[in-house]
Amino acid sequence: MIPKKAKAGGRTAGLLYYLYGPGRANEHVDPHMVAAWDGGVLDPGREQGTTIPILASLLDAPLYGLETKIPDQHVYHVPVSNDSSDRILSDEEWADIAREIMDASGIAPKGDPMGARWIAVRHDPQHIHIVATLARQDGRAPNLRRDMVKMQARARELEGRYGLRQLTSGDKTASRWPTTAEAEKANRNGRDEPPRTTLQGKVRQAASTATSEDAFFTAIQRAGIRLNKRTAPDGSVTGYSVALPGDRTGAGRAVWFSGSRLAPDLSLPRVRERWTGTPATTAVAVNAGQVTSQAAAWQAAAWQVHQAAAILGNAGDEAGAGEMVALSDFLTTYAAHAPTEVRQELQDAARTFERAGRAPTARQMHTDASGHLRMATQLVVMSTSLGMNGGEASAAITILVAVALAVIAAQRFHQAAQHRAQEQAAAEAGYHLRAATEVAYGASTGHGRRGGTRAVWRETAARPNAPELTGTYAPAVREAIPKLAERVLGEEAWPALAATLKQAEGAGYMPAQLLAEVSEVRGFGDAESAAEVLVWRLQKRMESGTQAASVTPPATDQIPPGSSGGPGVPPPVVSRTAQLAGMPLGEGTTLSLGEVVRQAVPGYADRVMADPASANLAAHLRQAAEEGYQPVELLADVAGARDLAGAESVAQVLSWRLRGRLSADTGGVIGHGAIPRGAKTHQAPATGERTAAERAAQDALQQRNQARSPRR
């Protein structure tokens, strides 16, 4: 439940006419009044035109008894909305909520007959508008001190009382959102997003890679942003502001934003914390010439992230808060340099995780985990100047799995510290990382190997603390899986498994016991690397444990592929009907969806067809058939990229992998531009045309945007 005060101007009648008068026929339900200042339920019927002047006069009457001059802005307007997933409340329940909100605001305290007059209007099932007059009936003005804070706190109580979705009150760590005026201006100017949002991303990326103040300001200017430094009389820089070229006011002046106006952690003092006191060995190690290709740099970065994930959040709250910043910086940087197929999901993960990177505590920026993450960030930046040797696919997947483990650790840190908003942000970022991982696996298939490719957990240089870590957890492996122990300890993925066991121990698990549990899930069959399989199972086990303990776990099986949404998104807008199994897949094949699924993945056919995400799977298969693929062979190929046994939604995972495969075959780092045998040469659709998969993704995105409640 979100109460949000809005500016209403000075005319009560005008606002009521807008909320309740003629012209509201497009609303979900017929408009009706749900509460008045006396707490009763009012239903004046359909005579809105005659009702509005009477209501306005009754509300405004106390203005003429004020001891002071009547203010120009005397209307108090509070919309209160529920989440789309909440149950529909009755008029009486909304009336009670309106009374509670007015009591909390100070407009009409309980038991005070002289409180200000107000009325609530319900013209939608899931929200109301409260309109009050800023004049008490005893001639005084109401006490509105800290009204929004008090209303938000009361909303949290009401959520519990009525069994609604529990939200979190603000902790002053959220970025400032673009105003409605900024969004409308961006739309008029043909921009994809408001300038404030663009500046937030570019300045954050500059901060994440900078190692000094000069490097920070240089990176901002190289990004094409106007920069204005604020200096003290002694010449020292005390702050900065940025502007987007071409963004001007009506008077023709540039629109400037200070760092603190963009986000709390982008003020110059907070940005400086990233490099002030950084150990000198960090930059030296990166420039030591240990890596000679982009793939090697990414593998080295993945190793650093694994080491950070193993110890993230273990050094206390202040150290953990600094480590969240370092992880957010790494995600932001890698999202800008990642392969094309996964870049959008990673950018969504980075934007979502920004909130998780701002813990509401003091922060210590320089810990061992932060050092590993800073090193990984520099390696990713350095990789852009290195050549490609064909190992980028496995390296990209290695990074994705490593950073997913780190985000799980971050979610557990915030969960333990009861940082609810940050915990939810980390959970949503984890969803995008899972999507990116599956897209990457799908993109890596189809290049001469039916079973797909697996990440290679390869050391690219000697690691000083790797022997110590592997030596510590070797006994746990021998105890948990004695028959497989020597095989696992001799594999290249063993250091990564050791780092994962370290992380599990930090999260409160017994390493040997947990390893034994995940090893018994099923056999290892013809797995190329048992250690790698165990890393994946441990990751899923810790992830499920985190979600089970979370207040609002992400609904990962309800989010359609192609959407950039997160937890809580409703089922795909392309609904599954009783005839879905017999749905033809287009001109490229005579097979139906059910036939393709039963032939390609017979062991999962029933689960796939019962899953709402199967509609999106059908859309991707239809696109593939139209482009000349053989649907059965293609689906079997991406299904073989990695074991599906642990997938919560097999249909969704297969959709992600198909998206990655189709994207890679049109060119990209992971896919290397290969065209499948027998496939038509891909041609971009004509202007205005969209494939079935694109239409499904766009429809799902629109549904998500309509259903999502306002940010709090």
The pLDDT of residue 152 is 87
Please give the DSSP secondary-structure letter assigned to residue 552. Answer: S
Pick the closest to residue 579 from 588, 592, 598 (CA basis): 592
Cα gap 350→202, rounded to integer Å = 12
Cα gap 181→309, rounded to integer Å = 41
CA distances from 362 to 74, 110, 329, 406, 610 (A): 40, 39, 18, 21, 48
The pLDDT of residue 674 is 36
In the structure encoding, which two tokens stand for residue 562, read together? 């192609």
For 545, other C-beta atoms within 10 Å of its C-beta total: 17
Task: Give one DSSP letter per residue of 649-693, joined into a string.
Answer: -HHHHHHHHHHHHHHHTTS-TTTTT---TTPPPP-PPPTT---HH
Residues 6 or more apart whose CB falls under 8 angstroms from that of 636 comprise 450, 599, 600, 601
Cα gap 669→346, rounded to integer Å = 15
What Rg value do the Cα atoms of the chain yield, rounded? 28
| Confidence (pTM) | 0.64
Task: Give one DSSP letter per residue of 345-387, joined into a string.
Answer: HHHHHHHHHHHHT--SS-----SHHHHHHHHHHHHHHHHTTSB
Burial group, residue 239, by CB count within 10 angstroms (0-12, 13-18, 19+): middle
Sign of CA dihedral 532, 533, 538, 543: positive
Cα gap 243→241, rounded to integer Å = 7
Cα gap 597→128, rounded to integer Å = 46
Cross-strand bridge partners of residue 39:
none
Pick the closest to residue 79 from 122, 128, 126, 149 (CA basis): 128
Sign of CA dihedral 576, 613, 701, 636: negative
Please give the DSSP secondary-structure letter assigned to residue 338. Answer: S
Residues 6 or more apart whose CB falls under 8 angstroms from that of 233 comprise none
* 379 neighbors 300 (Cβ within 8 angstroms): yes
146: left (phi over 0), alpha (psi -120 to 50) or beta: left
Helical segments of 507-589, H only: 511-519, 530-549
Pick the closest to residue 303 from 70, 505, 461 (CA basis): 461
* 333 neighbors 208 (Cβ within 8 angstroms): yes
Cα gap 458→200, rounded to integer Å = 36
The pLDDT of residue 257 is 92
Task: Give one DSSP letter per residue of 593-615, joined into a string.
Answer: HHHHHHHH-GGGHHHHHHSTTHH
Cα gap 370→387, rounded to integer Å = 28
At residue 128, the 3 state secondary structure works out as strand
Please give the DSSP secondary-structure letter assigned to residue 558. Answer: G
Cross-strand bridge partners of residue 124:
127
* 256 neighbors 241 (Cβ within 8 angstroms): yes
The pLDDT of residue 226 is 93
Cross-strand bridge partners of residue 36:
119
The pLDDT of residue 99 is 92
* 127 HSE (CA, 13 A, CB side): 17
Cα gap 354→175, rounded to integer Å = 9
Please give the DSSP secondary-structure letter assigned to residue 313. Answer: T
- The residue with tokens 């990116």 is 436
The pLDDT of residue 456 is 37
Cα gap 373→34, rounded to integer Å = 54
* 495 neighbors 466 (Cβ within 8 angstroms): yes
Sheet holding 226-231, edge to edge: 226-231, 237-243, 257-258
CA distances from 357 to 11, 365, 413, 419 (A): 43, 12, 11, 11
**Which residues of the chain fall short of a pLDDT of 70?**
1, 6-9, 17-18, 20-52, 168-177, 277-290, 389-390, 446-468, 506-508, 525-527, 543-581, 586-589, 665-712
